[in-house]
Amino acid sequence: MPSDPARRIFTLKRILIGAALAIPLALLGYLYSARAGQPPMDEATFLRQSAEFFDQQTRDNLPKQVDKVTTLNSVKLSLDDRTLYYRYSISSVSSTQLDAAGKAKLQDGLRAGLVAATCQQQELLERFRRYRIRVSHQYTGNDGKLLAKVDIDPQTLRCRG
């Protein structure tokens, strides 16, 4: 990592945005995979089965190295607040290495990439809206403390174009 804080933030944002866009789509694919010839699931069944699916994926397939500094540790669908939580850790920086402005820049860059990626997945976005599922990406540093958090609410998300 570069020692200059501005360069460190730029480099970290570039790495993390790439990681955010490389989220394992097999996990997300479950939420909008077509069930050929079958009627749509009722909401309660869909949410329960989705939560079970993500719990199983986390047990069987995570943590997973997303890029050279980012690890996806868990994916959990909370039925209480209907939020799909992605929890990442970043091995190359601690929370004390970035000041509030650096964390805000990092979060803004991540938000832009995650919103763009979400907007490109129209079927997924429609499924999120239908079942009122929000998404939260949480990134911690190598000290386990929060670096950035990006929440996306598909109900209020406005995609361009």
pLDDT tens digits for range 116-145: 888 888 888 888 898 999 999 999 999 999
Identify the weakest region by mean pLDDT among 9-13, 85-89, 100-104. 9-13
Residue whose entry in the numeric block shows the structure tokens 């809206």:
129
Identify the weakest region by mean pLDDT among 12-16, 58-62, 100-104. 12-16
Residues 94-99: what's their mean pLDDT? 91
CATH 3.40.50.720 fits 5-29+45-152, yes or no: no
**Domain residue ranges of the chain, discontinuous segments joined by +:** 5-29+45-152
Burial of 54 (0-12, 13-18, 19+ CB in 10 A): buried
Q: Provide the phi-psi class of 59: left if phi over 0, else alpha when psi is between -120 and 50, else beta.
A: alpha
Cis peptide before 2 (omega within 30 of 0): no
pLDDT tens digits for range 65-82: 888 888 999 989 999 999
- 7 vs 72 pLDDT, higher one: 72
CA distance 58 to 140: 17
Residues 34-57: what's their mean pLDDT? 77
